[in-house]
Amino acid sequence: MCHKTDKPTESSDAEYLTRRIARDNPELLERMKAGEFKSVRAAAIEAGIVKPRLSVPGDVSGLTSAPYPPSLSQVGAGLLWLCWWLWKIFTIPRYLKASS
């Protein structure tokens, strides 16, 4: 019985990626051997074998400008604005239709 984990088909494996590059794109393999890429993964990304990863910084607390959780006054102001906006959207068109 063969388990899925027994197969060396992970795309992060450098040997596997090198074999794929050699099979699919020999010109890129020559560039890789010449030292044009900083890693096998970088060459695999250019070959389209691997999708680039998006890296997120470890500390993301400074990415938001608003404090979390919002204070009660901020929530109240937001609800007040929402009520005003809904009233404006749903009542003003009726007055315009009635006066026409």
Per-residue confidence in pLDDT tens, the chain, 100 aa: 455 555 555 545 899 999 999 999 999 999 999 999 999 999 999 999 988 887 766 766 666 666 567 778 888 888 998 988 888 888 876 667 666 6
- Judgement on whether residues 44 and 76 belong to the same structural domain of the protein: no
- Judgement on whether residues 14 and 44 belong to the same structural domain of the protein: yes
- Judgement on whether residues 41 and 75 belong to the same structural domain of the protein: no
Q: How far apart are CA 60 and CA 90, in angstroms?
A: 39
Domain count, the chain: 2
- Judgement on whether residues 17 and 46 belong to the same structural domain of the protein: yes
Say if 13 falls within a structural domain.
Answer: yes
pTM over the 0.85 mark: no
Residue 10, CB-side half-sphere exposure with 13 Å CA sphere:
7
Helical residues (DSSP H) of 1-100, grouped into ranges: 14-24, 26-33, 40-47, 72-99
Q: What is the pLDDT of residue 2?
A: 52
- Judgement on whether residues 43 and 17 belong to the same structural domain of the protein: yes
- Judgement on whether residues 48 and 14 belong to the same structural domain of the protein: yes
Residue 13's CB is within 10 A of a number of other CB atoms, namely: 13
**Parent domain of 40:** 9-52
